[in-house]
Chain A
Amino acid sequence: MFFGTLGELFADLNLALKLFALLSIVSFVWSHLGKSPLSVALIAGIGWFVLFDYWKFFGGVFVLYTLLTLGISGILIDFFFVSQMGGEQAEAQPIGSGVDLMMRQQALLRQQARTQGGTGARGMQQRTMKKPPRPPMG
């Protein structure tokens, strides 16, 4: 068995996470106050508050902070935008050249003419130029 029993694993990882959180607290306080009796008292106070009193909250926050630092948000963005949430729709190809653009426009015009009952680009142009009748006055 790779990971031992699950309960032991969770307890050990919880302890390791607490140690890393303590490291963060110590480093933060030392960088702001230096090594003084006040900083030791502050480390003890914050440590007690974070590691023991409200660990269920701060443990999750610390894990989230670590994952965000490592770039987990990029993975979420990639998953939801690049892969389009696992959708199966076809990927639109970018326009490659002027000929490509012209062929696309012609295909679009043909399709519109087919759906609206006209013939080719001229018919569609005439339809788009035709104004709707005005409503009677009075």
Chain B
Amino acid sequence: MFVFIIAAFLVLLVIPPLVMYVFPAANLLMRLFLALMIFMTVRGFLGNSPLTIIISALLIYLLVIRHAYFTASLFVFFYVLLAFQFLSVIIWGLSVTMRRA
């Protein structure tokens, strides 16, 4: 069962970059969303200041422009699925299904 859970997590990790690669609109939307999330996070830490713009620009260049696929994968996996406890549902569902099978 351990193998199936890891495989399911890997599939979940691969889905966002795949969707971004296949659909250009999704790629653009995800990049915009990531940039917005980074800026909001930095502004939450530092408030409205020139330092916010500088650090946001650096992070957006590193995470959104250079490694958008990787960042999108991590973002969806950790920030969406993990934070909303969806991974627990997957573990529970897989364990019940595998036990019955």
Residues of A within 8 A of B (CB): 2-4, 8-9, 12-13, 15-16, 19-20, 22-24, 26-27, 30, 67, 70-72, 74-75, 78-79, 82-91
**Cα separation A78 to B6 with both chains bound (whole Å):** 13
**With A19-B58, A26-B45, A82-B95 as contacts: A4 and B83 at CB distance below 8 Å:** no
5 contacts between A and B (CB under 8 A): A2-B17, A8-B66, A71-B85, A78-B92, A90-B99
Contacts of B95 in A (CB 8 A): 82-84, 86
Q: B99 touching A70 by the CB < 8 A rule? A: no
Query: Which single member of A23, A27, A78, A88 contacts B88 (CB below 8 Å)?
Result: A78
B62 within 8 Å of A by Cβ? yes
Q: B46 touching A75 by the CB < 8 A rule? A: no
How many residues of chain B have a CB within 8 Å of chain A? 33
**With A2-B17, A9-B67, A26-B46 as contacts: A91 and B82 at CB distance below 8 Å:** no
Q: A27 touching B99 by the CB < 8 A rule? A: no
Contacts of B83 in A (CB 8 A): 70-71
Q: A2 touching B70 by the CB < 8 A rule? A: yes
**Cα separation A84 to B5 with both chains bound (whole Å):** 12
Residues of B within 8 A of A (CB): 1-2, 5, 17, 21, 41-42, 45-46, 51, 55, 58-59, 62-63, 66-67, 69-70, 78-79, 82-83, 85, 87-88, 91-92, 94-96, 98-99
Contacts of B87 in A (CB 8 A): 75, 78
Contacts of B45 in A (CB 8 A): 23-24, 26-27
Q: B82 touching A70 by the CB < 8 A rule? A: yes
**Cα separation A9 to B66 with both chains bound (whole Å):** 9
**Cα separation A74 to B51 with both chains bound (whole Å):** 35
A129 to chain B, nearest CB (A): 40
B53 to chain A, nearest CB (A): 13
Question: What 5 pairs across the A-B complex have the smallest Cβ distances?
Answer: A83-B95, A86-B1, A86-B2, A27-B45, A23-B45
